[in-house]
Amino acid sequence: MRHAFLTVLIAALMQFPAQPLSAANLVAKISLSSQTMVVKQNGVVMYRWKVSTARKGYVTPKGSWKAKWLSRNHRSRKYDNAPMPYAVFFNGGYAVHATYDLKRLGRPASHGCVRLHPNNAAEFFALAREHGLSNTRIVITR
């Protein structure tokens, strides 16, 4: 009887493959070429948003990072105390955050950060907080 129970249990568990422990369940993929951010939860696309990344003379780094820290009402120490609400920091001073310069969303305009509409930034910030920083990944590609 014990053997039959274990056989059924193993068969049931095999239907749900485990994710590697290092896999993030919240991923924001930013495309520099299309100026968009796709947010996936557990592999399912939840959102597609316009962004603004680095304008000429500045750089938005390419790569993949876990989220490092959150700041609800951050202000830039480097750029004249500029507002960076709903900031999700991922690489030093680089963050995904809200902008009030809405007319430039969808084209390069920042000093290197990834800018979002305030509503979208607030949603991403809440998701990152909910999922946890170690389960939130920011991926930036060409």
Q: Indicate the pLDDT class of residue 43, thresholds 50, 70 and 90.
A: very high
For residues 72-90, give the mean pLDDT.
94
pLDDT digits 0-9 by tens, 109-137: 999 999 999 999 999 999 999 999 999 99
Distance in angstroms (rounded) separating the CA atoms of residues 99 and 14:
45
Distance in angstroms (rounded) separating the CA atoms of residues 34 and 41:
21
Q: What's the CATH superfamily of 24-141?
A: L,D-transpeptidase catalytic domain-like (2.40.440.10)
For the annotated catalytic residues, the residue numbers are 97, 113
SS3 5: helix
